[in-house]
Amino acid sequence: MNKISNTRKYFGTDGIRGSVDNGEISAEFVLKLGWAAGQVLAKQGNGPVLVGKDTRISGYMFESALEAGLSAAGVDVRLLGPMPTPGIAFLTKSTRAQAGIVISASHNLFHDNGIKFFSSDGTKLPDNVELEIEYYINQSMQPVASQHLGKARRITDAPRRYIEFCKSKIQSDLNFHKLRIIVDCANGATYHIAPKIFEELGAEVILHGTSPNGLNINNECGATSPNVLRKLVKESRADMGIAFDGDGDRLIIADHQGEILDGDDILYIIARSQIKKLNGGVVGTVMSNLGLENAINDLELDFFRAAVGDRYVMELLLKKNLILGGETSGHIINLDLTTTGDGIITALQVLETMLITGKNLSELTKSIKKFPQLIRNIKFDTNIDITQNKEIVNAVDEAQLILGNTGRIVLRPSGTESLIRVMVEGESQGQIENIADELVNKVNHVAMKLH
């Protein structure tokens, strides 16, 4: 019997990700990964595996490598081309595929890439399956006999299938014809889908970030560049702006005044409009603003905090038998509508709420009184979990005593980048800035000693 380790080497909180230029993720590795995944999936059935990607240039290389690896394991492949991550999850489930694979590094720039997996029901792979794939990555690659090699073909109507799926998730009698909307697709996977959805629903759409060239994904556009969205909304006198990240599973929104609404604001808008469906609670993360928690409680709903990462939000939703959760970054999961975070469907829910209530975004979010919050990122590229260092733990405890019950501190390694994130939240902007500076200095000091 195979001895499978319980320790992850390759998979992080959101699949496998790394730098293409530095060789952290390479064609050779992805070939082996495809074969390893095929070894595991071939035990579960004979269905095909879907492979989609975002628009970064290395996607061509990795698509071919995955196709070859899966074929070598005897697994048939269906190639989708550029598709949003949630679109791949939807198609995996609707076409009864064994699994879906996404080639994307989400909000990162083009020189990074990654691989994410969906199970047959459109959700992230269970931990035990990821660990078994890791086991096979470390084994010698042996293709099946020639007559058993997998075949590959393209699904050409994938975008249209997903467009109709998204449109079906709001009331069919709603007409967006009075709305002027900025749609920023980050030069990413939503570039050929999101504009069509909003246009077909009747909105006047002003586009940005819809001309991908393989190198410009997330570059001064999309959800990671809120100031661009703010400027576009003001210049165009739009009713709102929507900016997706590179793979389309999250978004940020700007109201008609150019004020940016993050995932906390978006989560509140949806929660408020669906109170009766929510089974008494909503899930956020340790990074969610205390103001959101208070506003959710004012709706007579419980607020639960998961670790950062959509897989942990999903775990807590299932554990608590809830349907709505999300992250401050704009990754919203509504299990009443989808199996994973979906930026387009989240945007449609917000628009639906606006039209039904007759309120603009600033009116819909006025009940949230956010606390000042600072997030500092510290470069840290070792595998040591410095957040458990005694000096740092003591510094965090002392700072928390100063903040008392009206503030929070979160110090954590990033799940997707070589960073330590320091979040400080409290009533006084000056106080949290001082505390954040002290904690950053402490982390840098300890890091130097460890090196």
Q: Which residues are catalytic?
A: 106
Contacts of 120 (CB under 8 A, 6+ apart): 47, 92, 93, 96, 97, 98, 99
Provide the phi-psi class of 9: left if phi over 0, else alpha when psi is between -120 and 50, else beta: alpha
What count of other Cβ atoms lies within 10 Å of the Cβ of residue 59? 22
AA letter at 120: S
Distance set, CA 26 to CA 15, 16, 22, 381 (Å):
15, 11, 9, 19
**Rounded Cα gap, residues 267 and 329, in angstroms:** 11
Tell the burial category of 64 from Cβ atoms under 10 Å away from its Cβ (0-12, 13-18, 19+). Answer: middle
Distance set, CA 325 to CA 296, 315, 449 (Å):
12, 10, 39
Containing 116, the helix (H) or strand (E) segment is strand 112-118
DSSP string for 10-49: S-BTTBEEEETTTTSS-HHHHHHHHHHHHHHHHTT-S--E
What count of other Cβ atoms lies within 10 Å of the Cβ of residue 375? 13
- Render the burial of 162-188: b for 16+ CB within 10 Å, e for the rest: bbebbbebbeeeeebeebbbbbbbbbb
φ and ψ at residue 236, rounded to 5 degrees: -95, -5
**Rounded Cα gap, residues 132 and 134, in angstroms:** 5
Of 367, 355, 412, 415, nearest to 388 by C-alpha is 412
Tokens of 176: 């967006």
The alpha helices in 43-179, defined as continuous H runs, are: 58-72, 85-94, 127-137, 158-167
Tokens of 9: 């080497």
